[in-house]
A and B are shown apart, each in its own frame.
Chain A
Amino acid sequence: MELNGRARPAEPFDRLDTLTPAALRRWWTKRLRGVLETAMSELPFYRSRFGAAGFDAKEFRSLDDLRRLPTFRKRDMLGRQAELQSHALGIERRADGRVGDTLTVSSGTSGTTFLTVNPRWRRRQGRSSARAHWWAGFRPGSPFVISAPAWHAYAAIQPYLAEFFDAPCVVVSGTYLPRYADRIVDALRRFRPRYVTMFLPMVFPILAAARRMGLEPRALFDRAEVLLVTGAPITAGMERHLKEMTGVGRIAEVAGATEGVLAVSCTERSGLHVVPDTCYVEALDPQTREPVPAGRRGSMVHCFLIPEGSVYLRYDTEDVITRDDSPCACGLPSPRIKIVGRWEASFRLGGETVVAYDVQLALEEAVPETVGMPFVISREGLNCGKLRLLMPEPEARAAALAERIVAALAERFGAGGEVAWVRELPLQFKGVAPVLSETQVG
């Protein structure tokens, strides 16, 4: 639908979805000012930080004013955690002292920090997350299978989503590991949800479990209209592969960060729209800390816009993203981002900084039959300046395939390539190629 030459969402979640991009920027400015004022008056971490930067939240007039606030990273919070000897970092806003908080974890290779959530956070974040799921195509009434309850940030909001969408909340026993895949298969068979959320690394173990149980994988998803995947950036080839494997008509991607980033793909599938009442997201040059031009890669820096629980403002998640402010044909006003990896997992190749996503993309474009093949990028190979991939050996024509893969890698990255066939790789590596030492692969 178009209004004054601008596309409008066919089914807006609410009025916020119908704003123009300019109006959304004004909305964001007002919302941010309120959050910054709350942070300054109630949260010790920001009070001292704003004071040191000579920043007064009352003078916050436009989104450009954010540049006056320094960014911070996980290592800063880990340092503060060690210094305070506490998970409470002075960024936590409590709803009600009589009710205990619930903590979730933000794990990573550098260490674990903790986020506080509470019932007020649940209501506000829940509604915003419902918007994200609405965009992805979720509608009321279908059972909602929770992805391993209690311990991760997404699980903290899924029970609310089940309530919001008036859906039975389905709790599978165990956790999201391949050895519990048969239990998830049972949940999908029994409750036949129309909308399914899943971590990408678990999709393939679940399909494999279905086959072991004598089920056609597509039968698992026979009623599913949307498969919402998260946990790794998906390429167009992976999207097609998932469609083919599951038979689901729409594959949506949701991405974010535990510290309060949420973005989801729309029907146009050209990036993930930032969910505006959860966060404001910038893409900054890692060195200059200035915004990068559209399409260029930067560091994801965000402000969490729900002043409840742990509040992260101008936090650099150290994810590699692009940001696109151009109008989207779906009509949603918020910019689109794509998180393609993490700087800490990036590597230099042929004079360029590369993430595993780039390798996957290059392969699927040049050698389409590699779509859906798990692979590992060898750390030892990178140390020698070459892209050595460990891949499960196909049943036929392995040498010819290896030759084409090596040629494609050389063409795209201008660096030497090599394929080492292995007997098998864990299915979780499908679509989420890790950089590992070959000793870890065994």
Chain B
Amino acid sequence: MTDLRDFPFYRPRLDGRGVPAPWSVEDLEDFAGAHDDPFAGRVRAGAKPRVALQIEATSEPPVWSSLDGRDLDAWAGAVSRLWARFGLGAGDSIAFFDYGSNPCVLLSSSIYVSHLRRGAATRLGASVICNDGVASMTARLLGILEAVHPSALVIRRDLIAPFVDALGTRGLPPGSRLRWAAVSEVEGAPARADAERLQAAIGAPVRRLLRADAAYLVSGDCPSCGLFHLDPAYRAEPLAGGGVALSARFAAECPAIGYRLDGAEIVGRGCAAERRAARLAWS
């Protein structure tokens, strides 16, 4: 059991029951800036990180997470269950049009990051390819669709436009076997309209990803209920003024307890596709 009193970021935030006040990315940035601490007080004094991951949503200053092999494997497990729920299986390929530093990419193969034993996609028997996340690589993505025949594509929201434009000019490459795609955002979830635009262009269902790297959250919306299903690796609690306090059960090196996910609301369980899954609505 992690004692949050060991972590400078949490210590002053704890109430009498040892529960931290909800916090945000800005709180991490403030702490990192004030204490000149890249991990923003979320790592025990003297701890040596095995993997340090710069959180893309932070910038002033950038804040880092620290993970060991167990953290990484557990996080990859959550991503793996998400890919499986979306329909990825043995013999499939998944292509990423995003930076390799997006945890959805980084955790998908044990080749991509140190100390990860089993990648989120490769453990399912699926192959993985990353195209990097710059618009100038759109033509290369078309080459990937043509030669690698991925059944799944994960694309960053701002790359939908160049990709859809390229499809408008050249069409979907012959031999493309895309069965589904998913759109990711640096923090939070993309709008439905973004997913719909891509769906119209590729003629296959497009799912939305909900991402909060500071809390290690990766979640996907459900084709059945349209809500974001939470993996059992996470715990969500409603906040009094709205929003959700999110915790990652697995993160021990650099805990994420009580991350404030504004824009999310908890909806009761009971989706026909996954009855026991906790669910979040995102606006």
Residues of A in contact with B (beta carbons under 8 Å apart): 81, 85-87, 97-105, 107, 111-112, 114, 116-117, 119, 122, 143, 148-152, 155-156, 159-160, 162-163, 168-175, 177, 183, 186-187, 190-191
Contacts and interface: CB of A to CB of B under 8 A. Distances in A.
Interface string B50-65: 1111111000011010
Contacts of B283: none
Contact of A169 (B51, B56, B134): B51
19 contacts: A85-B175, A99-B122, A102-B109, A102-B122, A114-B129, A114-B147, A148-B101, A150-B100, A151-B132, A155-B112, A159-B112, A159-B114, A159-B116, A169-B50, A173-B53, A173-B54, A174-B101, A183-B54, A190-B38
| Closest 6 A/B residue pairs (Cβ) | A150-B100, A149-B100, A169-B114, A173-B56, A100-B122, A103-B129
Contacts of A149: 100-101, 105-106, 112-113
A102 B110 CA distance: 9
B52 A105 contact: no
Interface in B110-154: 110-116, 118-119, 121-134, 140, 143-144, 146-149
Contacts of A155: 100, 112
Contacts of A85: 146-147, 175
A114 B93 CA distance: 13
Contacts of A97: 125
A385 to B, nearest CB: 32
Nearest to B64: A190
A169 B106 CA distance: 12
Contacts of B146: 85
Contacts of A100: 90, 93, 109, 119, 121-128
A150 B112 contact: yes
A174 B96 CA distance: 14
A174 B56 CA distance: 7
Nearest to A103: B129
A77 to B, nearest CB: 11
A171 B140 contact: no
B106 A150 contact: yes
B66 to A, nearest CB: 8
A169 B90 contact: no
A191 B48 CA distance: 11
A59 to B, nearest CB: 35
Nearest to B101: A173
A87 B147 contact: yes
B49 interface: yes
Contact of A163 (B90, B105, B114, B124): B114
B115 A169 contact: yes
B23 interface: no
B7 interface: no
A186 B61 CA distance: 8
Nearest to B110: A119
Contact of B111 (A102, A105, A143, A168): A102
Contacts of A160: 114
Contact of B99 (A175, A187, A190): A175
A171 B52 contact: yes
Contact of A87 (B115, B123, B148): B148
A150 B146 CA distance: 20
Nearest to B92: A100
Given A100-B125, A100-B126, A103-B128, A168 B149 contact: no
A148 B130 CA distance: 11
Contacts of A86: 147, 149
Nearest to A107: B140
Nearest to A158: B114
A159 B67 CA distance: 14
A98 to B, nearest CB: 6
B116 to A, nearest CB: 8
A148 B133 CA distance: 10
Contacts of A122: 110-111
B48 A183 contact: no
A177 B134 contact: yes
A191 B52 contact: yes
B62 A159 contact: no
A174 B52 contact: no
Which of B111, B118, B119, B121 gathers most chain A CB within 10 Å? B111
B122 to A, nearest CB: 4
B153 to A, nearest CB: 14
A85 B54 CA distance: 38
Which of B61, B113, B115, B119 gathers most chain A CB within 10 Å? B113
Interface string B75-119: 000000000000000100100100111000110011111111011
